[in-house]
Structure 1
């Protein structure tokens, strides 16, 4: 199957409509019928503003979070439309991919 691999990048404490952005994205994907999403918690990084984000015990400064999804073209369009309609501002990457299962079982 042809589609897209899309990754959203945010921080643990950022919220949208009263919930963490990563959770909002996962719920929005579920609502449009996406088959799955994976949430990754990062150890450290820095954002477009140059601020350092970490989960280090001595530097609990809003660790980075990623939401990754393999989507059909229609699912990708629907999810990005939902984000735009909700005025969600979050950085993402999108790459064309081939995806599927290794067997029917």
Structure 2
């Protein structure tokens, strides 16, 4: 798959305990992205954070792994992201989604190639 030099990145901010139909929401988002044939998705687990409810989530020893912040990041053509965003609207009960333009410098797999 080839990405345009100009693409968009969406970031989906959720909690580790967020579920969709009993399954971890981050996993469902990654699987849905793959089914839609998107370029890729990455899930990041935060060390600390808070959201709209202002409750701090942290990995400090006394509160080990309490609903840690999760960010799912996806870069793709804007029109392809719209299909995913429509799907996410029905999945996301709380959290935040952001969208921003990005410049894609390289997108490859396999074999070693030089950046040009």
Looking at structure 1, the residues matched to 82 and 9 of structure 2 have their Cα atoms a distance apart, in angstroms, of 12
Unaligned runs of 5+ in 2: none
Asked whether 1:67 is paired with 2:72, we answer yes
Say whether the 8 Å CA contact 2:12–2:71 is kept in structure 1. yes
When the two chains are superposed, the root-mean-square deviation of aligned CA atoms in Å is 1.9
Task: Provide runs of 4+ in structure 1 moved above 4 Å.
Answer: none
Question: Can you list the C-alpha shifts for 1:46-104, whole angstroms capped at 9, x where unaligned?
Answer: 110011111222113211110011111122101001112x3433411100112141789
Asked whether 1:34 is paired with 2:5, we answer no
Looking at structure 2, the residues matched to 55 and 38 of structure 1 have their Cα atoms a distance apart, in angstroms, of 21
- Whose Rg is larger? 2
Partner of 1:24: 28
Q: How many residues align?
A: 104
The two structures have a TM-score, normalised by structure 2, of 0.80
Higher strand fraction (1 or 2):
1
Unaligned runs of 5+ in 1: none
